[in-house]
Structure 1
């Protein structure tokens, strides 16, 4: 499963709900989540859910627009590179995500790069 749309729709749903089950459904048991490149990742689904909830946004606080940059698949596993823009009422970020998919469509490794737009 290399098509990122269903996974990203689930991610946005979890982002808006902050429901632990919605978050957990996105990731394999042993997934790793890099909140920025070269940082210590959140390791395992339980830590991902706990850290997500510790840093959660308010439901509906942000909008996320995205498009795929590159999608590949090999031996049933896929990689999606996604470029997006996250807009909050008072700030905007450009995002680049690398999503490594397990054969069942859940994420086994997630890395995000984000850059805040300059205030105008």
Structure 2
């Protein structure tokens, strides 16, 4: 069972380093609308992806995803997904496939509980239709994964995402590699 990251500590875009430990507010102003009363997400704001999905929209979604991870905020995390979303932490492994917001929230609470000092960044998303691929580079402390020394681990991850027109994710399939220690991305990492 994957007991590793999905919990941020500092969000940075590849090639762009934030001075603040928090990313700018996402999505950008003017891209929000209130959910209709009685809708599936009453009172919450959602991004609109009317028309073609863009790399900028996926970047905003990924920034919010990393911030939810960093802050261990399962409520913010599940709002990024549709009510019936599928989250595959390890594709093809039923015990690592989470269906629906409740299961995704439970996974996030469990997975982030033992993590600290997370720093996350993402590369430039590659978008086709309503699908996107985005690379993540995440470092964090996880004593359960790396009981030696200072407990640093690095996750090198690529996520394949399927979006709905309102900007939420319907499916997230992760492909990741875990390395012990706090590694830095190589030059040119994350560029499409």
**TM-score of the two chains, using structure 1 as the length reference:** 0.84
In 2: Cα distance, 1:86 partner to 1:69 partner: 16
Q: Deviations over 1:18-37 (max 9, x none)?
A: 23321221110000000012
In 2: Cα distance, 1:7 partner to 1:53 partner: 20
* Secondary structure at the counterpart of residue 109 of structure 1: strand
* Secondary structure at the counterpart of residue 123 of structure 2: strand
Query: What corresponds to 2:139 in structure 1?
Result: 87
RMSD of the alignment, in Å?
Answer: 2.1
Kindly indicate which of the two structures has a greater share of residues assigned to helix. Answer: 1
In 1: Cα distance, 2:157 partner to 2:107 partner: 19
Structure 2 residue ranges without an equivalent (≥5): 1-48, 142-151, 184-192
Kindly indicate which of the two structures has a greater share of residues assigned to strand. Answer: 1
**Correspondence 1:11-90 to 2 at 5 A:** 11-40=65-94, 41-57=97-113, 61-73=117-129, 78-89=130-141, 90=152
Q: Which has the larger radius of gyration?
A: 2
1:101 and 2:159 aligned: no
Structure 1 residue ranges without an equivalent (≥5): none
**TM-score of the two chains, using structure 2 as the length reference:** 0.55
